[in-house]
Chains A and B, each alone.
Chain A
Amino acid sequence: MLRYALSRVLLALPLLFGLSVLSFIYVRLIPGDPIVAMLGVNGNPALVARLREQFGLDRPLLSQYGEWITGVARGDLGVSFRSQMPISTIIVDRIPATLQLAGAALLVSLLIAIPAGVAAGMRPGSRLDSLITSATLFGLAVPAFFLGTLLMLVFAVNLRLVPSQGYVPFADDPMQSLRLTLLPAVTLGLAISPYLARLTRSAVVETIQESFVPFAQAKGLTPRKISMGYVLRNALPSLVAALGVTVASLIAGSIVVEALFNWPGMGRLVASAVVERDYAMIEALLLIYGGLFITVNLVCELVQSVLDPRVRLT
């Protein structure tokens, strides 16, 4: 088990290295360079030269990368081109709000997608299955910004049940913080649940076709025992893997939803960094999101190996 975990971690290292190189190169591939892109072609040449020197963009690529990556290793992500503030500080400030929304959205989507996916997968081809499958297709087709606007109009503007937007730290006012989380979390949760529901359904469909299901029936086990102990238990490792993949849609969705609900998380940081052409920030965010995705999936793989004794062999 320990050896398996170690080998997975070691495999993730080259992936992280590749990610850092890509994030680094991406910013430097911009025509001209980031400073020109930021200030425009008609920017003051003296200012361009000064900023270039200040951010080290005039030095050889290899030494730039070396300096950047050693900084990253120490937790220093560089300085924002725009605000001149340390990027690490800006991002750390955003973490509580980001996690609060992501966690709540994940909870919402799990509550919707797992029961729906299981119900559809247990009886593939049934009327319930067709209904759920069409619903997920519909859910995939509706963009998050549309859904969010709709929810905001109905529940905040017309019914006045919850505030329409904003953020209060949980520690300052827990009730108000949760009320404010509700709409963005439901929007984001609904946006990612179709993916999760489909992955759940296919994991369950695959499992009910295994020949241990009829054998369990032949042993006289109760339908409840068979669906919990056999079908769900065997589909669980695939569900965990599906959850890891879903993080990608969670990240993508959060950029839209945070902007819509004026939520001060990392998603909005991405949007503003792109609009402001803050390439140092974009570089850092690429690295962090990529690293997050790799780490979450690594954890999911390890959990999967705990859940499925056969995985540890391979």
Chain B
Amino acid sequence: MTPLDETGGTVLEVRDLAVEFPLTGSVVRAVDGVDLDVAAGEIVGVVGESGSGKSVTMLALLGLVHRPGRIVGGSVRLRGTELAGLGPRELARLRGRRMALIPSDAGAALNPVTRIGAQVDEGLARHLPELPRAERQGRILDILRRVGLPRPDTQVRRYPHELSGGMQQRVAVAMGVQLGPDLLIADEPTTALDVTIQAQILRLLLDVREESGTAILFVTHDMTAVAEICDRVLVMYAGQIVESGSVAEVCAAPGHPYTKALLDAIPPLGGEPPEELTTIPGAPPDPRAWPVGCRFAERCPLRRRLGDPAECTSVAPAMATLDSRGSAGRRSRCHFPDALVEAVGGLVR
């Protein structure tokens, strides 16, 4: 079904994406100029605090920003097809088949009054209407078995509330991957789960990538999970991407003070427990009126260390390539990325 020339290359290409929510008397620009690319078979982590715009960005990719919010600019291309130009019907035909979502809380995302089997069937019936009913039944059991749901033949007759959280999440994963989408958006798929089940779901995502070459956008605020399964990572802050690069490089030498602060907030495993967990002081800026300069300036330890340079608060930093280190695609939205490298180690607070 898939033409040969579509098996590799870029799956998703996003340029200058902007999403706004009109409020009475003001406008919230929740996503402001996001660029991102995901290649086939690549797992890209998207990290950032709550409210940084990660989830809205993902909804925008699916064309599902809820009213009164709307996409006000930019381009989203899936396998070269510009999604902004598609009507609601054509977009709905792509959703679930070419690009799929794994929700963060499957317990709330599954239809409470419909049996599991019927819910998994909905996507198949919608996107493969020519498939005979009996064959769909077989496929449902098959996909549920593949996501590691025990005894799928009995589970299909149960209701979502009769399943444990881990099983619900696996059902949601099954629904996301059943049609072998080009792009899978996993929006915090493991936050509601305990550690062992988290590991199983992460393993599952790796399997899906292995088997169908699916590109995965993995949204999380768990840096450990990113380190485990992602190839690249994008760091979002205040509606923008502030750093991008391979996971190994970003973790070893963050190119943005915010990334550095995020990494410092992870408690070390083993050894002496820290006196006090590192937190990022202050709060993100007001999304109704983004600051003129760097959006992280107000909270930035590097800025204070550098003696409060004027650029930080007067000039908006662009996403610049960090030539001095790492591979191509290593970018940061900081005026002084090199100063950060020198300061690594002594930057806390």
Residues of A within 8 A of B (CB): 210-212, 214-223, 225, 229-230, 233-234, 307-310, 313
Contacts and interface: CB of A to CB of B under 8 A. Distances in A.
A220 B92 contact: yes
Contact of A310 (B62, B96, B112, B123): B112
Contacts of A313: 161
Nearest to A313: B161
Contacts of A225: 122, 126
A309 B159 contact: yes
Contact of A309 (B59, B92, B94, B161): B161
A157 B114 CA distance: 53
A211 B97 CA distance: 20
B103 A215 contact: yes
Contact of A220 (B97, B113, B161): B97
B123 A219 contact: yes
Nearest to A123: B67
A55 B95 CA distance: 75
Contacts of B94: 220
A309 B97 CA distance: 30
A219 B96 CA distance: 4
B92 A215 contact: no
A308 B113 contact: yes
Contact of A218 (B100, B110, B114, B159): B100
Greatest chain A CB density within 10 A among B59, B88, B105, B112 is at B112
B68 to A, nearest CB: 9
A229 B62 contact: no
A221 B126 contact: yes
B108 interface: yes
Given A217-B64, A218-B95, A218-B100, 14 more contacts: A211-B103, A212-B109, A212-B112, A215-B101, A215-B110, A215-B172, A218-B103, A219-B95, A219-B123, A221-B96, A221-B122, A222-B126, A229-B111, A307-B113
Contacts of B161: 309-310, 313
Contacts of A233: 111, 113-114
Nearest to B105: A211
Contacts of B101: 215, 218-219
Interface residues of B, number: 30
A222 to B, nearest CB: 7
B13 to A, nearest CB: 20
B108 A211 contact: yes
B112 A217 contact: no
Interface string B44-69: 00000000000000010010101000
B114 A229 contact: yes
B303 to A, nearest CB: 38
B136 interface: no
Contact of B159 (A210, A219, A222, A310): A310
Interface of B: 59, 62, 64, 66, 88, 92-97, 100-101, 103, 105, 108-114, 122-123, 126-127, 159, 161, 172, 175
A198 B126 CA distance: 33
> Max chain B CB contacts within 10 Å: which of A216, A220, A223?
A220
Nearest to A217: B64
5 contacts: A215-B101, A219-B100, A220-B93, A220-B123, A222-B126
Contacts of B93: 220
A222 B111 CA distance: 15
Contacts of B59: 214
A138 B127 CA distance: 46
A218 B111 contact: no
A215 B159 CA distance: 17
Contacts of A234: 111-113
B113 A218 contact: no
Given A225-B126, A313-B161, A217 B110 contact: no
B126 A216 contact: no
A241 to B, nearest CB: 15
B84 to A, nearest CB: 17
B103 A217 contact: no
A280 to B, nearest CB: 47
Contacts of A219: 95-96, 100-101, 122-123, 126, 175
Contact of B113 (A215, A221, A309): A309
Nearest to B100: A218
A46 to B, nearest CB: 68
A310 B163 CA distance: 12
A258 to B, nearest CB: 39
A230 B92 CA distance: 16
Given A211-B105, A309-B159, A313-B161, A217 B92 contact: yes
Contacts of B123: 219-221
A214 B64 contact: yes
Contact of B111 (A214, A217, A230, A307): A230
A230 B161 CA distance: 16
Contacts of B96: 218-221
A218 B62 contact: yes
Contact of B108 (A212, A229, A307): A212
A229 B125 CA distance: 14
B175 to A, nearest CB: 6
Nearest to B179: A220
A124 to B, nearest CB: 10
Contacts of B175: 219
Nearest to A307: B113
Of listed B110, B113, B114, B123, residue having the most chain A CB within 10 A: B113
Given A215-B101, A309-B161, A220 B111 contact: no
Contacts of B113: 233-234, 307-309
Contacts of B88: 223
B127 to A, nearest CB: 6
